[in-house]
Amino acid sequence: MKIAVVGTGYVGLVTGTCFAETGNTVTCIDIDASKVESLSKGKMTIYEPGLDVLFERNRKENRLLFTTNLAEGIKDAEVIFLALPTPPGEDGSADLKYILGVANELGKILDHYAVIIDKSTVPVGTSEKVHAAVAANAKVDFDVVSNPEFLREGVAVDDFMKPDRVVIGTNSERAKVIMEKLYAPLVRQGNPVIFMDERSAEMTKYAANAFLAMKITFMNEIANLCEKAGADVDNVRRGIGTDSRIGKRFLFPGIGYGGSCFPKDVQALGKTATEYGYDFKILKSVMLVNDKQKTKLIPRVKEYFGGELKGKTIALWGLAFKPHTDDIREAPALYNIKALRRAGAKVVVFDPEATANVRKEIGKKVKYAKSPYEAVEGADALMIMTEWPEFRTPDFEKLSAALNNKVIFDGRNLYDLTEMRTLGYDYYSIGRED
């Protein structure tokens, strides 16, 4: 099949590369000429484990092409994916200017039937708006389909190639046949392709992310209560997760969810609810609790140092909003850096992948270490912000030799309480006795 993908950001590049891998010829289109040049030369523009191998293979096979020219990119394409940014506007609603701008252009240049697919996370009703924007100038037949993505950063290739399900919103039989053919190689194990109307597909994406954000937030509240009630959230998590109605995944408490999706999507769904005159109370609580959770450890750090952080050096392990990504959007680490600096502390940070992005954002406000042990050298305390695997089994002897105090504030519950006690650490984590 000949496929066009408009937008070579995270979703676009994963979508394009993975569909090339299943034997299609994919042209990715972006207005950013420097990006297109890098990608054409084989230089990846994002960090995503496993994507580089597929990218290289398909580029060499000439199945993965890049251009800045929309008309050239969509030539003969049976399907055209729109994977464009939908940044939150000032009022929290998703800004559709990029998507509708391209839709408008498409109407003018489309010279054959194509299925235009909304891959970006867009509010309910967007398919209709895209349809109208294309139709304004269209000379040929076309369909607009909603096909939300459920990719997690860090495991996006696996999520794409082995999806739990594929959701497709369309009432067009013609589009349905094409979409079925497109996804057939990815659902051979029998995972469902679920067809529905466009509005339901758009709502499904928001409902999924909001539900997951709520699940995490619920566990964070249980953790907060466990601390007060003398229970251990790790036991509670195992105790409830084995109930198949609840499920084991996404029950890990911590310092809040971050990233480019959950915060934005929860906010946008709240905005949609308001627009339709519905007071979505749970969403409001989720946002409030998560905001507070991010800096939950700061009062404990202050308390440990007798209320005064001036002159103290705090080492931070982890900057990315989660492991296996260099993405720092809405990362809890950034909020903690801000709070620590506001309280007068010096901050030294280490992250295996995200350092360059943090440097771009906050420059010299913190010191950047080249290794986890360099970060703690002479520091007064260690805080853990991201559960990178390399932080899970540190050399505790080396750690205590480097730190001024044997104290760890762990926002991701990496260590065993008994072991930490035996090692003589003051160890503070989330929802467990200290």
Active-site amino acid positions: 261
Alpha carbons within 13 angstroms on the beta-carbon side of residue 129 total 16
Is residue 320 within 8 A of residue 253, CB to CB? The reply is no
Closer Cβ to ligand UGA, 318 or 394, answer by number = 318
Closer Cβ to ligand UGA, 35 or 322, answer by number = 322
Q: Closest separation between CB of residue 262 and ligand UGA, Å?
A: 5
Q: Which of 97, 88, 384 is nearest to 261 (CA)?
A: 88
Provide the binding-site residues for ligand UGA, judged by CB under 6 A. 121, 149-153, 209, 212, 216, 250-252, 254, 257-259, 261-262, 321-322
- Enter the tokens of residue 29: 């289109």
- Enter the tokens of residue 289: 């609790």
Q: Which helix (H) or strand (E) holds 235?
A: helix 233-241
Query: Cα angle at 156 between 86 and 209, to 5 degrees?
Result: 50
Q: Closest separation between CB of residue 109 and ligand UGA, Å?
A: 29
If you ran DSSP here, which 8-state letter would residue 360 be given? Answer: H
Closer Cβ to ligand UGA, 73 or 263, answer by number = 263
Closer Cβ to ligand UGA, 143 or 265, answer by number = 265
From first CA to last CA, the distance across the chain in angstroms is 58
Closer Cβ to ligand UGA, 75 or 215, answer by number = 215
Residue 25 Cα to chain centre, angstroms = 27
Q: Closest separation between CB of residue 159 and ligand UGA, Å?
A: 7
Closer Cβ to ligand UGA, 260 or 313, answer by number = 260
Sign (positive or negative) of CA dihedral 297, 299, 305, 309: positive
Contacts of 30 (CB under 8 A, 6+ apart): 6, 7, 8, 12, 36, 66, 68
Distance CA 368, CA 311 (A): 18
Instruction: Provide the residue type at 280 as one letter.
Output: F
Distance CA 46, CA 51 (A): 9
